[in-house]
Amino acid sequence: MFFPTALRPRYAKWLIATGLFLMLSGCVDKPNTLERVKEDGVLRVITRNSPATYFQDRSGETGFEYELVKRFADDLGVELKIETADNLDDLFDQVGKPNGPVLAAAGLVSSEQRTKQVRFSHPYLEVTPQVIYRNGQSRPTEPGDLVGRKIMVLKGSTHAEQLAELKRKYPGIEYEESDAVEVVDLLRMVDEGQIDLTLVDSNEVAMNQVYFTNVRVAFDLGDARSQSWAVAAGEDNSLLNEINAYLDKAQKNGTLQRLKDRYYGHVDVLGYMGATTFAQHLQQRLPKYEQHFKTYAKKEKVDWRLLAAIGYQESLWQPAVTSKTGVRGLMMLTQNTAQAMGVSNRLDPKQSIMGGAKYLAYMKDQLDESIQEPDRTWFALAAYNVGIGHLDDARKLASREGLSPDKWLDVKKMLPRLSQKQWYSKTRYGYARGGEPVHFVANIRRYYDILTWVTQPQLEGTQVAEGNLHVPGIDKSKPAQEPAPL
């Protein structure tokens, strides 16, 4: 090609500029993981389908891990998309795959083997691995007692790694790893005597105890360990740094504690005997009154399972009981409360349940608008027990201590002070047995959780819902319309 002499310098400069532009364009970094998440507007997360991590009930998606990671997605300003893994090996394989999940949130514990596949975040929950056996069988008390027992654990779990380590010291230990089961299946198999032992983390044992009344904790296998989230291996720290900052903030601002309190803060209120008794009463007593709970809960726009949980806490679903203080009936109403709610016969279970439903709705209506759900329900329960005046006193004490008067986690710390003169002398309504509403709410939350889990659609027809004592007297036909969930 021929160019006039005068144009050649200009053409050379153009070539150089173009070359530099192309070189620089080739050096532009690809977007990192965090940038891609924000550009796509979606946070893809993989988890396990279990009560302790993620599941769906009639009110939608829920679970400890789900709620924690949903808040993270909201902080990022992106949509959360959840997928569940068939097993732990699949979960770790999927993290970081093209167009796949960028984060695993599934109650994961770091181990030497796992750190070869993924990188772990800062911890957010401590759990202890526990050896589980069946009541009535010989209780193992140390690792050597595992020899000769039929043991099964989740395939790819840190529990399997623990057993592999123990086997080097005790060659007689034999165990099976299965990817066809979840924790609830392992507990059921111990409960029914299909296997002798399993290993499960303490939080999941406590959460599922009520369904499997024959399971017992033999001993803790090692020290407490931390659960963390996991991201893909590599040098891209963008998402991991953001996760760590979020978890640190959640720890500092109380979000983590509130979630722990919601899911695990009341798991020990039943105990072994209480779990067995409750399971029996689900079958033998609840069916007699279930329709009354549903009818009046719908009328007052409260959750029927919450109303049933109050009834169990008050009377163990017994209509003719009377306390030393004169409260009577299935919902244990005082004479004044019964009259105010239009109850003429407190020993009539139908009237008692009607009165309890109206009184709970009344308590919720009396609360300040600043109190939002789910705290509003816990406050209403406390007021149901101790009275709205004493509850207001505790809220004022919380404010004086720099705590939130609208958060149950904060106010429940103040309620016991109402029985101490140095505190109640400074309140409007004076002395109250302030510890009682704290236990009252904790117990009802536990009963409510159990009723929620055993009536959720995905449990219907499963072995968990249909095995032994675990079927409540539940009408499985879905009501035409249910009150708004908590």
Residues 352/331, Cβ–Cβ less than 8 Å: yes
Residue 226 CB: number of other CB atoms within 10 A?
15
* pLDDT (mean) for 136-156: 95
Q: How, if at all, do strands 42-47 and 79-84 pair? A: parallel
Q: Whole-structure pTM over 0.85, yes or no?
A: no
Enumerate the active-site residues: 314
Those residues with Cβ within 8 angstroms of residue 202's Cβ, 6 or more apart along the chain or in another chain? 127, 128, 129, 130, 220
Percent of the chain with pLDDT over 70: 84
Bridge-partner residues for 177, per DSSP?
A: 153
In this prediction, residue 484 carries a pLDDT of 36
Percent of the chain with pLDDT over 90: 59
**CA 186 distance to own-chain centroid:** 19
18 has a pLDDT exceeding 80: no
pLDDT digit string (tens) for 417-455? 988 888 888 888 888 888 889 989 988 998 998 888 777
C-alpha distances in Å from residue 345, one per residue of 318, 330, 359, 432, 471? 15, 11, 16, 28, 31
In this prediction, residue 326 carries a pLDDT of 78
pLDDT digit string (tens) for 194-227? 999 999 999 888 777 766 778 899 999 999 999 9
189 has a pLDDT exceeding 50: yes
Measure the CA–CA gap between 423 and 416, rounded to whole angstroms.
10
pLDDT digit string (tens) for 267-299? 556 665 676 788 788 889 999 999 999 999 999
Element (H, E) at 432: none
Those residues with Cβ within 8 angstroms of residue 117's Cβ, 6 or more apart along the chain or in another chain? 92, 95, 233
In this prediction, residue 49 carries a pLDDT of 81
245 has a pLDDT exceeding 50: yes
In this prediction, residue 391 carries a pLDDT of 96
Bridge-partner residues for 5, per DSSP?
A: none
